[in-house]
Structure 1
Amino acid sequence: MSPGRSCLYNAAPDSFGTTSVNDTTPAGANQERTVLFADVSGSTRLYEVLGDARAFAAIDACLDILRKLTAAHSGHVVKTIGDEIMAVFPDAMNAVQAACEMQLVVSSRKPVDNERVAIRVGLHHGPVLESADDVFGDTVNIAARMAEVAKAQQIITTGSTVALLPPIVRASTRTLSTLAIKGKADDIEVREVIWQESEDMTMMVGNTQSHSDAEPTLKLIHQGETFIVDAAHPSVTIGRDERADIVIQDRRASRMHARIERRRDKFVFVDISSNGSYVIVKNETEIQLRREEFVLRESGSISLGHPYIKDPTEVVEFFCQS
């Protein structure tokens, strides 16, 4: 797979990607579309840290990437609202492909003064009313709600949208919750697209054999609670923020301090904090990481914002299993 390519680029059957939103029925008619919202997460902080000029340039460069990738996947940007774009696509697959590639490209860009630009994406497929320069209807409202639910580096959609995707793509989504939407009798299933599984998904194309039961698994233990990272749950976030998967009650930890990602058969610890992280692998010397990555192996412990010896109560223990 070429650099920057979408995690779903090779997963679509030939029938996908052949229509454009400009090739269909006249404006004003009800049509089936996938509506996507993508915005720069934490833009207020970028302006505070980088200053107006540099923050604007960083955000504008990010929005330009989103516009180009929308067009590359048969989509059309309806409008840009501050640090957010609203786009429409002819089908769910094109929209999900675009969303994955947006995340891949933006996440691979270099930080600006140690501030990494990140995006969150929400999308939903359904009937819309298109005018010359806007799109209306419940589908738009639901897509916007999915974007509100999304955290930085997440793609959030609905169960009904996932049902329209090929099986290979559906396999790389997970249910998060259900959500009550005003005016809707039934709750909506909220699902996350796991775009970080790009290499895994490419390898799965055309492979109908079942996977071995011995899938690599990472077990994490914090304050007596166990968390699992595996193919079904390929990432975990750690930090003081209550939205993190593992919440750390220590002021020395950043709100979003780190994440652990499954990459093929490896588990990678990614520090994104101010004070750094301290990792001890069994029988080895403690190492300090600051905005760096480290491949976890065997077993050990992770301390957030301080060395292990200074406070061993808020550590995360890890155990690699295969």
Structure 2
Amino acid sequence: MNPFEDMRLFCQVMESGSFTAAAEQLGLSKQFVSRRLIQLEDRLGVRLLNRSTRRLDITPLGQSYYESAMRLLNDVEQVEQGIAGQNSEPRGTLRLSAPLSFAMAHLGCLLPSFLQRHPHVSVEVDLSDRPVDLIGEGYDLVLRIGTLEDSTLIARRIASVQRVYCASPEYLALRGTPLKPADLADHDCLPYGHGRQVQWRFQTKGKLHAVNVSGRMRVNNGELLRDTAIAGLGITYLPTFIVAEALRDGRLVTILEDFAPQALTLSAVYPQHRQSARPVQALVEFLRERLAGGC
């Protein structure tokens, strides 16, 4: 291997988190990857990684090498793409993961338009509400809603996602309309997700505070929560792209509008080594253009 290939191999190990995962991504054996990195360290005369049976820890010199290597590899990729003519027209296959409910509401019309605009791009789409491992599972781009964890990944803001508290008119007629967050203690709520204790966040006089909520059902799918709320079984808290139609035709009505927290952010997240990839950048810009008004 030449020095650039050693850089790519080292960066893949760092992004994958292990020799095994990196070897699977590269189609190589674990022993080959390990041997190449030992040879790289011998050539540089420094320790890049501290190895143990459970984990890999990067050394300060290893971190410096990783950051410099990523910059060089990105420069090389841009040069190669320019020579191949891809700076003018994106080409290749894009592996995308997106939240199920968001995708059903938006991507059904957006992705066909994107593919019509870029005829040399193909997409492989995985729809899941679980937090996928972008690097380990080999995605080029992931769409995520909400606060992102600090990481070496790159995140681009796409749009705002508004959420509302809502219930059916029948439920409110039977149980009364809560006027403040504390009133939810006397109501059946339909929270998203799982766990022993679920909290909803409210904003009062510019300050956020949390309220514990409970009910007879909780689930990690927004459409099911929406339909359960329409059936009159409780109050739910969902993005407007899930409940917009039910709000328009009156099957649901909003409550506690004065206490709603700020909108969430829809972000496009991708690895550092993909930030200059034309298909990735093309899709990010396309989504920013089409969703500029919010979701």
* TM-score computed with the length of structure 2 as normaliser: 0.22
Work out which structure has the larger RCO, using CA pairs closer than 8 Å and 6 or more positions apart in sequence. 2
**Bigger radius of gyration, 1 or 2?**
2
State TM-score, norm by structure 1: 0.21
